[in-house]
Amino acid sequence: MFDDVRGRYPDFFEVILDTDAAHVPNLRVLRDDLERVPVDRRNFDALNAVAIAYYETNDRAESGRGDGFNYLALSQRSAKLLAVPWRAYGETDDPLLRTAIVDFFEDAGSGEKLNTKRTAPRLSAIVSSLSKKELDPQRLARIDALSRSLKAKATILEHEHEIEEH
């Protein structure tokens, strides 16, 4: 899948994969493809590109914790990447795309991907805000459950951090 989306968004991935790049990649093409109507493969390719870029950027940020500016810059970049599917969620009524976006946020908050354990606090508010954009009862229940799960993980992380400080 990476080769497919890398070929579709070469300039974007050039910046994402450049460990020395200090600038934020242009997200407009991804945003336009993700919000495209009617929904087709390009929407899902854009979501996959965002996901790959998010995991890569987040991993580098979390691996560099304590590295001051670099950590802050990469964290900000990963937050901007999260904003792309969040915005698209409100721009589409397509149930498959909406479900895929929730899948992405669930995966990002699961803690199963490399260095994603600490992302729950960041994702909790984002996922919670999706409920304001959702009318489907099943997806709304899923969003609410995911939001509660992320809040619980955030609370656990806070307690772990407090214990580490003492």
Task: For residue range 78-123, list pLDDT tens digits in order.
Answer: 899 999 999 999 999 999 999 999 999 999 998 887 776 777 777 9
Cβ-contact 101, 126 below 8 angstroms: no
Hey, what's the torsion of the CAs at 108, 57, 68, 27, to 10 degrees?
A: -100
Q: At what angle do helices 10-17 and 41-63 cross, to 10 degrees?
A: 10
| Residue 126 contacts residue 86 (beta carbons within 8 Å) | yes
Does residue 20 register a pLDDT over 80? no
Task: Say if residue 70's pLDDT is above 70.
Answer: yes
- Assigned token pair, 112: 């199963």
- Rounded to whole angstroms, the Cα distance separating 83 from 89 reads 10
Residue type for position 32: D
pTM of structure: 0.90
50-61 core/surface letters (b: 16 or more CB in 10 A; e: else): bbbbbbbbbbbb
Distance CA 138, CA 162 (A): 36
d(CA 44, CA 41): 5
- For residue range 111-151, list pLDDT tens digits in order: 887 776 777 777 989 999 999 999 999 999 999 999 999 99
Q: Where are the domains of the chain?
A: 2-165
Compute the average pLDDT of residues 25-41. Answer: 96
Asked if 101 contacts 146 with a C-beta cutoff of 8 angstroms, the reply is: no
Contacts of 27 by beta carbon, 8 Å cutoff, 6+ apart? 12, 80, 81, 84
